[in-house]
Structure 1
């Protein structure tokens, strides 16, 4: 049955990419979390989706132009037009340390497709290795050259290019990047394309599947991984299909 990954944590209900969202996702019993990594002006890896802090915090500015101290001073409590309180932008190290206390998988998306964070691949791999979590990490990126670079640096890493445009052949994309899996927007995937990948032992994970009907459809089709804002909803559907 499909593995369930909490997209930026349980981001449907809690502020995305915060420890609160990750801890609430763990409570659902899901298989893993998905998060995004940018790099600060002073070289720290922080967990935030956008290249700026404008949307998800009470601050403004490019992540790459702010220091870790400046970013940690912000409140990262925005969630779908609602504000919570007292949530910080986590460092990657903070999340990795927390992961040592559970058994969750973690999909780290390198957000280096719009801002070229030179050497980000080395930085992320080194951080993960420092916590001995290599076997539980999936690396993904829209920057397919970054995926190739990850493979060059670590032949054993689990890597997955991301795409969202129609007309892409996912099997060929996986082959051209030496990837272990494919991550695609659910709108551009078909059961036939998915099955072609799976015949080549290439798992397919789709984002961002939130609708009940679509969740059921893809679970019944044999999708390997679901990336969702609502892991509690996906888990209930999976449990119902297994009974």
Structure 2
């Protein structure tokens, strides 16, 4: 597990410089625990989500897939090989099989419904539910409707009234399907590239409310343009403290990070007016 380290003089200087930018809005980006803090805990496990919540984190991102028998589960990769004591795609397995699967360190495989139940009585939480449907061999067009119907139903059932639950994806197909199910539910298009005018136009075409872009190469000018058009902007990846300082400087709404508790402690050391 990573531990917080006192900022070196170089980082301290960078923090001071970034604070000058942040003063314009008096606000820092929401800390989003990517996969529940993937560089601090085993990713997409209740251990990570619970630990982050108890330490004051209120933003969480996770990855949603669907089993052979139509049960929604949490897993990032196309296969179980990297993270679990099993192998192969979850899309080719039954839910009862996965209930017996554990992570490399012995934690239980996590079903989406159990994840959502944990947050059901925790208002004020921001959840990004990434729809991992880009692999068309695992998710042909014929599976998208079933996947989205089930995800929408579960999210709507367990979402507290004053929390923000967001459907996100690299894949346009589920975003289009979700918009047909609900005209108002927030959705985000993700891309592994910096924010651009073309990206903003793509979000407009999809009727997205949020944009998730690569933080490196993104300009403050384009972030402000997107925000003036009504979009919330999320920057990723976040592997280092410097990435959070960059997110502040860019004026992002959300900073996706694999080290959320480290960033939380970093945020606590910022001037009081920038902690909102």
What is the TM-score with the length of structure 1 in the denominator? 0.91
Count of aligned positions: 236
**Helix, strand or coil for the counterpart of 2:38?**
coil
Alpha-carbon distance, 1:50 to partner: 1.1
Q: 1 CA distance for matches of 2:247 and 2:194?
A: 18
* Other-structure match for 1:76: 103
Residues 237/25 of structure 1: CA separation in 2 closer, same or farther (3 Å cut): same
Equivalents in 2 of 1:12, 1:27: separation in Å? 17
Indicate the residue corresponding to 2:93 in structure 1: 66
The residue number in structure 2 matching 1:38 is: 65
Q: Tell me what 2:199 maps to.
A: 170
> Would the aligned equivalents of 1:205 and 1:223 in 2 still touch at CA under 8 Å?
yes
Q: Cα offset for 1:185?
A: 2.2
CA displacement, residues 68-116 of structure 1 (integer Å, 9 cap, x when unaligned): 1111211123xxxxxx22x112111001100013232111000011131
Alpha-carbon distance, 1:167 to partner: 7.9
CA distance in 1, matches of 2:57, 2:173: 30
Instruction: Determine if the alignment matches structure 1 residue 91 to structure 2 residue 111.
Output: yes
SS at match of 1:118: helix
Q: Larger radius of gyration, structure 1 or 2?
A: 2
Deviation of residue 7 (structure 1)?
Answer: 0.4
Per-residue deviation, 1:166: 5.3
Which digits, 9 at most, give the CA deviation of each residue in 1:107-147, with x for residues without a partner? 10000111314321111001112224475201100101221
Q: Which moved more, 1:162-171 or 1:109-118?
A: 162-171
- Are residues 1:2 and 2:23 paired? no
Greater relative contact order: 1 or 2 (C-alpha under 8 angstroms, separation 6 or more)?
2
Moved over 3 A (4+): 132-135, 165-168
**CA contact 1:53–1:61 (8 Å) conserved in 2:** yes
Instruction: Report the secondary structure of 1:4's partner residue.
Output: strand
Contact kept in structure 1, 2:238 and 2:258, CA below 8 Å: yes
Q: Which one of 196, 202, 210 corresponds to residue 231 of structure 2?
A: 202
TM-score, length-scaled by structure 2: 0.80
Q: Is the 8 A contact 1:40 1:63 kept in 2?
A: yes
CA distance change for structure 1 residues 208 and 165 in 2, over 3 Å: closer, same or farther? closer
Judged with a 3 Å threshold, the aligned counterparts in structure 2 of structure 1 residues 41 and 167 are, in CA distance, closer, same or farther, namely: same
Counterpart among 248, 254, 259 of residue 219 in structure 1? 248
Closer/same/farther in 2, CA of residues 167 and 17 from structure 1, 3 Å limit = closer
| 2:144 equivalent to 1:118 | yes
Q: Alpha carbons of 1:28 and 1:21: their partners in 2 closer, same or farther (altered >3 Å)?
A: same
Note the aligned Cα RMSD (angstroms).
Answer: 1.7
Counterpart contact for 1:4–1:235, Cα < 8 Å: yes
